[in-house]
Amino acid sequence: MIIKNEAGEDEIVERKGIPDVEKLKTHIILIASKEGKNLKAISNFVDKFEKGKKKHTKIFNNLNNEAEELIFDFAVGTAVGVALNPIPAGDVAGGTAACIELIRRLAKKYGADITTSEIKKLANELWSEGKLYFVKQLSLAIILAQLKKLTILFFQFSQF
Protein backbone atom coordinates (compact mmCIF):
# COMPACT_ATOMS: atom_id res chain seq x y z
CA MET A 1 0.00 0.00 0.00
CA ILE A 2 1.19 3.57 -0.66
CA ILE A 3 1.13 6.18 2.10
CA LYS A 4 2.62 9.64 2.55
CA ASN A 5 5.53 9.87 4.95
CA GLU A 6 6.38 12.84 7.21
CA ALA A 7 8.23 14.56 4.36
CA GLY A 8 5.12 14.38 2.17
CA GLU A 9 6.58 11.79 -0.19
CA ASP A 10 4.85 8.59 -1.30
CA GLU A 11 6.15 5.51 0.46
CA ILE A 12 5.36 1.87 -0.24
CA VAL A 13 4.49 -0.05 2.90
CA GLU A 14 3.58 -3.71 3.17
CA ARG A 15 0.36 -4.66 4.90
CA LYS A 16 0.72 -6.59 8.04
CA GLY A 17 -1.98 -9.20 8.47
CA ILE A 18 -5.65 -8.89 7.71
CA PRO A 19 -7.15 -5.47 8.45
CA ASP A 20 -9.71 -5.27 11.23
CA VAL A 21 -12.84 -3.87 9.57
CA GLU A 22 -15.30 -4.71 12.34
CA LYS A 23 -14.99 -1.26 13.91
CA LEU A 24 -15.63 0.30 10.50
CA LYS A 25 -18.66 -1.94 9.86
CA THR A 26 -20.12 -1.07 13.24
CA HIS A 27 -19.60 2.65 12.61
CA ILE A 28 -21.21 2.46 9.13
CA ILE A 29 -24.22 0.58 10.52
CA LEU A 30 -24.60 3.16 13.29
CA ILE A 31 -24.54 6.06 10.80
CA ALA A 32 -26.94 4.28 8.44
CA SER A 33 -29.42 3.62 11.24
CA LYS A 34 -29.30 7.28 12.34
CA GLU A 35 -29.36 8.79 8.84
CA GLY A 36 -31.49 6.13 7.17
CA LYS A 37 -34.71 8.05 7.71
CA ASN A 38 -33.22 11.17 6.11
CA LEU A 39 -31.91 9.19 3.16
CA LYS A 40 -35.32 7.56 2.69
CA ALA A 41 -37.00 10.97 2.87
CA ILE A 42 -34.62 12.31 0.22
CA SER A 43 -35.30 9.27 -1.96
CA ASN A 44 -39.08 9.75 -1.57
CA PHE A 45 -38.75 13.45 -2.41
CA VAL A 46 -36.79 12.67 -5.58
CA ASP A 47 -39.38 10.06 -6.62
CA LYS A 48 -42.26 12.51 -6.06
CA PHE A 49 -40.38 15.23 -7.92
CA GLU A 50 -39.85 12.96 -10.94
CA LYS A 51 -43.53 11.90 -10.95
CA GLY A 52 -44.61 15.54 -10.67
CA LYS A 53 -42.25 16.53 -13.45
CA LYS A 54 -43.74 13.87 -15.74
CA LYS A 55 -47.27 14.95 -14.83
CA HIS A 56 -46.54 18.64 -15.47
CA THR A 57 -44.78 17.87 -18.74
CA LYS A 58 -47.86 15.95 -19.88
CA ILE A 59 -50.17 18.80 -18.82
CA PHE A 60 -47.95 21.38 -20.55
CA ASN A 61 -47.84 19.31 -23.75
CA ASN A 62 -51.65 19.01 -23.71
CA LEU A 63 -51.93 22.76 -23.14
CA ASN A 64 -49.61 23.45 -26.07
CA ASN A 65 -51.65 21.14 -28.31
CA GLU A 66 -54.86 22.91 -27.29
CA ALA A 67 -53.21 26.29 -27.97
CA GLU A 68 -52.07 25.16 -31.42
CA GLU A 69 -55.63 24.02 -32.20
CA LEU A 70 -56.98 27.37 -31.06
CA ILE A 71 -54.47 29.27 -33.21
CA PHE A 72 -55.29 27.11 -36.23
CA ASP A 73 -59.04 27.62 -35.76
CA PHE A 74 -58.56 31.39 -35.49
CA ALA A 75 -56.30 31.43 -38.55
CA VAL A 76 -58.88 29.57 -40.63
CA GLY A 77 -61.74 31.72 -39.31
CA THR A 78 -59.84 34.94 -39.95
CA ALA A 79 -58.86 33.84 -43.46
CA VAL A 80 -62.48 33.01 -44.31
CA GLY A 81 -63.68 36.30 -42.80
CA VAL A 82 -61.13 38.33 -44.75
CA ALA A 83 -61.92 36.49 -47.98
CA LEU A 84 -65.69 37.04 -47.65
CA ASN A 85 -65.52 40.65 -46.45
CA PRO A 86 -66.60 43.08 -49.21
CA ILE A 87 -65.79 46.27 -47.26
CA PRO A 88 -62.37 47.85 -47.96
CA ALA A 89 -60.21 47.95 -44.83
CA GLY A 90 -62.84 45.87 -43.05
CA ASP A 91 -60.53 42.90 -43.23
CA VAL A 92 -57.87 44.86 -41.32
CA ALA A 93 -60.35 45.74 -38.56
CA GLY A 94 -61.73 42.20 -38.45
CA GLY A 95 -58.27 40.67 -38.48
CA THR A 96 -57.20 42.98 -35.65
CA ALA A 97 -60.25 42.03 -33.59
CA ALA A 98 -59.62 38.34 -34.23
CA CYS A 99 -55.95 38.65 -33.21
CA ILE A 100 -56.91 40.43 -30.01
CA GLU A 101 -59.48 37.77 -29.14
CA LEU A 102 -56.95 35.04 -29.91
CA ILE A 103 -54.39 36.65 -27.59
CA ARG A 104 -57.03 37.04 -24.87
CA ARG A 105 -57.98 33.35 -25.13
CA LEU A 106 -54.36 32.17 -25.19
CA ALA A 107 -53.57 34.29 -22.14
CA LYS A 108 -56.56 32.79 -20.34
CA LYS A 109 -55.55 29.26 -21.37
CA TYR A 110 -52.05 29.76 -19.93
CA GLY A 111 -53.38 31.43 -16.80
CA ALA A 112 -52.03 34.90 -17.59
CA ASP A 113 -54.01 38.04 -16.85
CA ILE A 114 -54.20 40.60 -19.62
CA THR A 115 -55.66 43.96 -18.69
CA THR A 116 -58.00 46.11 -20.77
CA SER A 117 -55.30 48.76 -21.13
CA GLU A 118 -52.86 46.14 -22.45
CA ILE A 119 -55.52 44.97 -24.90
CA LYS A 120 -56.12 48.56 -26.08
CA LYS A 121 -52.38 49.10 -26.51
CA LEU A 122 -52.13 45.86 -28.46
CA ALA A 123 -55.13 46.82 -30.61
CA ASN A 124 -53.54 50.18 -31.43
CA GLU A 125 -50.27 48.50 -32.41
CA LEU A 126 -52.05 45.93 -34.57
CA TRP A 127 -54.24 48.62 -36.17
CA SER A 128 -51.15 50.75 -36.93
CA GLU A 129 -49.51 47.78 -38.63
CA GLY A 130 -52.75 47.00 -40.46
CA LYS A 131 -53.11 50.58 -41.72
CA LEU A 132 -49.55 50.50 -43.04
CA TYR A 133 -50.25 47.21 -44.82
CA PHE A 134 -53.53 48.61 -46.20
CA VAL A 135 -51.79 51.74 -47.57
CA LYS A 136 -49.14 49.56 -49.23
CA GLN A 137 -51.79 47.32 -50.78
CA LEU A 138 -53.89 50.29 -51.93
CA SER A 139 -50.84 51.96 -53.51
CA LEU A 140 -49.96 48.74 -55.31
CA ALA A 141 -53.55 48.34 -56.55
CA ILE A 142 -53.57 51.93 -57.93
CA ILE A 143 -50.23 51.42 -59.67
CA LEU A 144 -51.35 48.11 -61.19
CA ALA A 145 -54.65 49.66 -62.34
CA GLN A 146 -52.73 52.47 -64.09
CA LEU A 147 -50.42 49.94 -65.74
CA LYS A 148 -53.47 48.01 -66.92
CA LYS A 149 -54.91 51.19 -68.49
CA LEU A 150 -51.60 51.95 -70.18
CA THR A 151 -51.42 48.42 -71.55
CA ILE A 152 -54.96 48.65 -72.96
CA LEU A 153 -54.23 52.06 -74.52
CA PHE A 154 -50.97 50.78 -75.97
CA PHE A 155 -52.70 47.82 -77.64
CA GLN A 156 -55.53 50.03 -78.96
CA PHE A 157 -53.17 52.51 -80.58
CA SER A 158 -50.73 49.89 -81.84
CA GLN A 159 -53.44 48.33 -84.01
CA PHE A 160 -53.72 51.47 -86.18
Tens-of-pLDDT digits for all 160 residues of the chain?
Answer: 677 888 888 887 776 767 677 787 787 777 777 776 766 777 777 777 777 777 777 777 788 888 888 889 888 888 888 778 777 667 777 777 888 888 888 888 888 888 878 877 877 787 777 777 777 877 888 888 888 877 777 777 776 5
Return the axis-axis angle of helices 90-109 and 22-84, rounded to nearest 10°: 160
State the DSSP code for 111: T
- Cβ contact 15:1 at 8 Å: yes
Q: How many CB atoms lie within 10 A of CB 92?
A: 20
pLDDT score for 121: 83
For 111, phi and psi rounded to 5 degrees? 80, 20
pLDDT score for 57: 79
What is the predicted pLDDT for the residue at 113? 81
